[in-house]
Chains A and B, each alone.
Chain A
Amino acid sequence: MPGKDRTTSTDERGAINMSKLQRETGGSGAGVEHIEEMARRLRYHIIRMVGKAGSGHPGGSLSSSDIVAALYFGGVLRVDPRNPLWSERDRFVLSKGHAAPVLYAALAEMGFFPVDVLLTLRKMGSPLQGHPDCRKVAGVEVSTGSLGQGLSIAVGMALAGKLDKKDYKVWALLGDGECQEGQVWEAAMAAAHYKLDNLRIIIDHNHLQIDGPVDRVMSVGSLGDKFRAFGWEVLSVDGHDIRELLEAYRRSSEGKPLAIVAETVKGKGVKFMEGVAAWHGKVPQGEELDRALAEVTIRETEERGQ
């Protein structure tokens, strides 16, 4: 395990390198291996953050780490850490706001704020609230946490983009359990009605929610069929396969909003947390934290730090 100070400084250097790389590649993004490495870093941050905080939602943050890494580090999302409110930016709405740790980790690695801020998660005075607060953190597009609302906000941004004839895209990440909220379907209807092909969502389909398997708590059936029936273009991908994710992200959907149903494993990356609903809102502590950290430790961090 790298020491705290060393990790912090290398991470900061890593973040700078990353944005430099993005500039150099003209936004076309890095290779798959690099994105996989970034996903590992996100997982490492997630476990350290929630471990330090003593609370949080690791399960759904880990399941969406590859999704978020491909989006931010694959040259897909057009954002500028030096100008967070750039009017031409792509918008990313974390509708499943409890996965805040994965968003914070990605923003820090992108250079929106220093990586060492991550360890203040959920502490008094920290900008990193338990659920994202757009008034406190640069790069957080909207405050979320009450499920089911993010897609509506994304629809509003996409409508505004159309109205202004801007070419930015609006992305939203939803949970599968979240799709039990009726507002999601109100928004889905509106997105298709207004032909928002500048809107694309990813559903982190990890099949688990707090009380157990989604299909046992309240079956959402086939999410792909449902969105298709609402007039959306739908793609299904392995949510842990960077290549598949990147390919889906680059697809266009003329005249229709696009839903990418990403099959994932809750707790992905930490063996004992994988597929276990209990890790939705519980954090590993003590010996379990050490075991979790050992699994997500980033060798490259140490190497780069030398």
Chain B
Amino acid sequence: MKAARDAYGEVLVELGKENVRIVVLDADLSSSTKTAVFGKAFPDRFFNMGIAEANMMGVAAGMARAGKIPFVSTFAVFATGRTYDQIRQSIAYTGFNVKIVATHGGLTVGADGASHQALEDIALMRVLPGMTVIVPSDAEETKLAVRAAAAHTGPVYIRLGREAVPQVFPAGSSFEIGKGNVLLPDVSREDVIAADPSSRRFDVSFIACGVMVKECLDAASLLEAQGLRCAVAGFASVKPFDADLCMALAKGSRLVVAAEEHSVIGGLGGAVCECLSGSHPSRVLRIGVEDRFGESGPARELLEAYGLTADSVARRVRAVLDTNQTTV
């Protein structure tokens, strides 16, 4: 078990050693976002901008224009909603090379409550032209995603969680912006894409990001025990979206499930539906937070209360497959 944000702090230090152009900015939350680890290692390249996020985004834009690779961190609510126009105008429109790495995304922020639980951030960032959006599932994938972001030229948004999470990303797997990873069954993404499109190999295909990858893997276990054939794909790269893999999974399945710790509007579920509606209209069950704000509570209990645990996901999938409805 390891928190993605801890992995973020570690990989930042590694990157800092490898590339002097990397600078890090935070808005008084560096001990929570773990950028303080970088600040300790490279005090000259760490800038605490105080509780002034809008300015922080602009400063990062200016640093990028001057040749730096700024990593900007704060909680996801502030990193996207509070600074939306600054990101839109000064980072996305300019195409500047700024990496926004937000922690404390989603319900699992826990006791701080709805004011601090970003459930809209993926939608906000995804709609910006040229913005890359990555939602890693665990510490391992976070490290790879942060490295990929540093190597990529252009703005990137990475959303991390607060809590320690189990490893789900297979050790030794590669991470590539724009490509999903097939975690179940044990076949490659390329094999899934190359499979005979007329063969229905799965009852249900899960397309998930963040903490929901683990919940979907567990839900798949429950469903497979009931005789259903399942596929689970990690779609950390929400944008660019892996349309090839999404399409192949949809063609080979009775039902597609999109799962995220985010509003069911505009996030990964939105991306899946946008992809399929144009080329391969499919039944899609969107698992996420139903158009409402979160609340205070322990992370696990919140996931349960909002229907985001494996049990709940499996029950909903079963219910859909057991009915003859054509709509979900």
Alpha-carbon separation in the docked complex, A252 to B45 (Å): 26
Residue-wise, chain B 42-72 has the 8 Å CB interface mask toward A (1 for contact) of 0011010110101111111111111110100
Distance between A95 CB and nearest chain B CB, rounded to angstroms? 10
The answer to whether A143 and B54 have CB atoms under 8 Å apart is no
Q: Is A187 an interface residue (CB 8 A)?
A: yes
**Set A91, A133, A152, A164: member contacting B59, Cβ < 8 A:** A152
* Sample (22) of A-B pairs whose CB atoms are under 8 Å apart: A142-B62, A145-B89, A146-B85, A146-B89, A152-B54, A152-B61, A153-B65, A155-B58, A156-B58, A156-B61, A157-B63, A157-B66, A159-B62, A160-B23, A160-B62, A160-B67, A163-B45, A186-B50, A186-B54, A187-B58, A187-B59, A190-B55
**Set B52, B56, B60, B65: member contacting A142, Cβ < 8 A:** B65
User: Of the 9-residue stretches B90-98, B233-241, B277-285, B316-324, which lies at the interface with chain A?
Assistant: B90-98
Alpha-carbon separation in the docked complex, A93 to B188 (Å): 49
Give residues 228-277 of B contacting A (CB, 8 Å): none
- Given known contacts A156-B70, A164-B67, what 18 new A-B pairs fall within 8 Å (CB)? A142-B61, A145-B89, A146-B85, A152-B58, A152-B59, A154-B62, A155-B59, A156-B61, A156-B65, A157-B62, A157-B65, A159-B63, A160-B67, A183-B86, A186-B54, A187-B55, A189-B50, A190-B59
Q: Is A134 an interface residue (CB 8 A)?
A: yes
Smallest CB-CB separation from B68: which chain A residue?
Answer: A160
Alpha-carbon separation in the docked complex, A143 to B155 (Å): 15
**Set B50, B86, B93: member contacting A152, Cβ < 8 A:** B86
Give residues 151-196 of A contacting B (CB, 8 Å): 151-161, 163-164, 170, 182-183, 186-187, 189-190, 193-194
The answer to whether A142 and B90 have CB atoms under 8 Å apart is yes
Q: Is A149 an interface residue (CB 8 A)?
A: yes
On A, residues with C-beta under 8 Å from B are: 87, 91, 133-135, 141-146, 149-161, 163-164, 170, 182-183, 186-187, 189-190, 193-194
CB-defined contacts of A157 to chain B, threshold 8 Å: 62-63, 65-66
CB-defined contacts of A151 to chain B, threshold 8 Å: 58
Distance between A177 CB and nearest chain B CB, rounded to angstroms? 17
Smallest CB-CB separation from A146: which chain B residue?
Answer: B89
Smallest CB-CB separation from A170: which chain B residue?
Answer: B62
The answer to whether A190 and B49 have CB atoms under 8 Å apart is yes
On B, residues with C-beta under 8 Å from A are: 23, 44-45, 47, 49-50, 52, 54-68, 70, 85-86, 88-90, 93-95
Alpha-carbon separation in the docked complex, A189 to B59 (Å): 12
The answer to whether B45 and A156 have CB atoms under 8 Å apart is no
Smallest CB-CB separation from A158: which chain B residue?
Answer: B62
- From known contacts A152-B58, A153-B58, infer whether A190 and B89 are also in contact, taking CB-CB under 8 Å: no
The answer to whether A161 and B55 have CB atoms under 8 Å apart is no
The answer to whether A141 and B61 have CB atoms under 8 Å apart is no
**Residue from A152, A155, A170, A190 with most neighbouring chain B CB atoms (10 Å):** A152
The answer to whether A135 and B95 have CB atoms under 8 Å apart is yes
The answer to whether A141 and B65 have CB atoms under 8 Å apart is yes
Smallest CB-CB separation from A153: which chain B residue?
Answer: B62
Alpha-carbon separation in the docked complex, A164 to B20 (Å): 10
CB-defined contacts of B65 to chain A, threshold 8 Å: 91, 134, 141-142, 153, 156-157
The answer to whether A156 and B93 have CB atoms under 8 Å apart is no
CB-defined contacts of A189 to chain B, threshold 8 Å: 50, 52, 55
Alpha-carbon separation in the docked complex, A222 to B68 (Å): 36
Smallest CB-CB separation from A166: which chain B residue?
Answer: B66
Smallest CB-CB separation from B55: which chain A residue?
Answer: A186
Distance between A201 CB and nearest chain B CB, rounded to angstroms? 13
Alpha-carbon separation in the docked complex, A151 to B52 (Å): 13
Distance between A89 CB and nearest chain B CB, rounded to angstroms? 10
CB-defined contacts of B89 to chain A, threshold 8 Å: 143-146, 149
CB-defined contacts of A186 to chain B, threshold 8 Å: 50, 52, 54-55
Alpha-carbon separation in the docked complex, A149 to B45 (Å): 22
Alpha-carbon separation in the docked complex, A190 to B60 (Å): 12
CB-defined contacts of B52 to chain A, threshold 8 Å: 186, 189-190
Smallest CB-CB separation from B95: which chain A residue?
Answer: A135
- From known contacts A143-B89, A146-B89, infer whether A153 and B59 are also in contact, taking CB-CB under 8 Å: yes
Alpha-carbon separation in the docked complex, A209 to B65 (Å): 30
**Set A133, A152, A170, A190: member contacting B90, Cβ < 8 A:** A152
CB-defined contacts of A187 to chain B, threshold 8 Å: 55, 58-59
CB-defined contacts of A145 to chain B, threshold 8 Å: 89
Distance between A291 CB and nearest chain B CB, rounded to angstroms? 36
Alpha-carbon separation in the docked complex, A169 to B62 (Å): 13
CB-defined contacts of B67 to chain A, threshold 8 Å: 87, 160, 164
Alpha-carbon separation in the docked complex, A187 to B56 (Å): 8
Alpha-carbon separation in the docked complex, A158 to B58 (Å): 12
**Set B44, B50, B95: member contacting A163, Cβ < 8 A:** B44
Alpha-carbon separation in the docked complex, A154 to B55 (Å): 11
Distance between B62 CB and nearest chain A CB, rounded to angstroms? 2
CB-defined contacts of B70 to chain A, threshold 8 Å: 156
Alpha-carbon separation in the docked complex, A148 to B47 (Å): 21
Smallest CB-CB separation from B90: which chain A residue?
Answer: A149
CB-defined contacts of B86 to chain A, threshold 8 Å: 149, 152, 183
Smallest CB-CB separation from A148: which chain B residue?
Answer: B54
Distance between B30 CB and nearest chain A CB, rounded to angstroms? 16
The answer to whether B94 and A142 have CB atoms under 8 Å apart is yes
Alpha-carbon separation in the docked complex, A125 to B89 (Å): 20
Distance between A238 CB and nearest chain B CB, rounded to angstroms? 30
Distance between B131 CB and nearest chain A CB, rounded to angstroms? 15
